[in-house]
Amino acid sequence: MAKVFYITIFLWLGTTIGYAQGVKTLHDEILIQSSVNKTITKSIQLKNDTQKPVDFYLRGISDGLGSSQKIELCYGEDCFDLNKNLKGIYFTLAPGESTQDLKFKFATGLTSSSGNFDILFALNNNPRDLHKVHVAYAVSESNTSKTELNSFNGISLGNIYPNPVENQANIDYRILDDGIQASITISDVLGSPLKTFNLDQQVNKVSFSAIDFRAGIYFYTLQVNGKNIVTKKFVVKR
């Protein structure tokens, strides 16, 4: 008997009728944010709360992955590429049973991206009885952590985080030399300034709200003593 798996990165449970109402996902919401060229592995737990065994047939996956991204769903030692033919792949849960060896592997790809897709299971191979998993992911270009600071003309500057940004963004910095006048300017993709922050040697962090920003690409520029030193990119996701 073939076995299956299933994935999530931002996970919520959708059901239609019948058995699907007795199937549970034993997780809070999961959001995975990572950098390019990484493989993320996470465990998934499903539970059959019905009084009968339930077969989970992998019905399909919606579009939403980048061309260089890859997902494998694994049950025990058996792993399957979700970008390939999935016909006939399933596993069975007895009444009250939950999965113990179900996990997914997400290869983040070669470029920054964010997106979502759905994975559908037909319970007992009935296309009208579906268990839906919604997946959302966010991948950034840089693999430098927020705690790693790069030095520029007497000031150390970190990467913006989280990236992509949804609500609040943060940038760590450290002024190394006394007497430096430094600021950070946030601008849109056309170069129009949106916000400017004067940096304080005693604070070491800039935080700002991006709630009013539209989804898209933005930039932040470090200025030291009136000169532009470095510009970095970030993404706002909606």
Task: Identify the CATH number of the domain in which residue 156 sits.
Answer: 2.60.40.1930
* Per-residue model confidence (pLDDT) at position 186: 95
Strand pairing class (32-35; 130-140) = parallel
| Prediction pTM value | 0.51
Burial 194-221 (b: 16+ CB within 10 A, else e): eeebebeeeeeebebebeebeeeebbbb
pLDDT more than 70, % of the chain: 78
Local structure of residue 194 (DSSP, 8 states): E
In a domain, 7, yes or no: no
* Per-residue model confidence (pLDDT) at position 1: 41
Number of domains the chain contains: 2
Give yes or no: residues 133 and 167 share one domain.
Answer: no
Give yes or no: residues 36 and 153 share one domain.
Answer: no
Q: Rounded to an integer, what distance in angstroms lies between the CA atom of residue 205 and that of residue 117? A: 35
Residue that wins the pLDDT comparison between 201 and 141? 201
Residue 29 pLDDT > 60: no
For the stretch 64-111, pLDDT in tens is: 777 778 888 888 888 888 777 667 778 899 999 998 888 888 888 777
Query: What integer best gives the mean pLDDT of the chain?
Result: 78
pLDDT category at 31 given cuts 50, 70, 90 is: low
Give yes or no: residues 48 and 91 share one domain.
Answer: yes
Domain boundary among 140, 160, 189: 140
Q: Rounded to an integer, what distance in angstroms lies between the CA atom of residue 130 and that of residue 15? A: 6
149 contact partners, CB below 8 Å, separation of at least 6 = 156, 157, 158, 172, 173, 174
In a domain, 207, yes or no: yes
Give yes or no: residues 154 and 188 share one domain.
Answer: yes
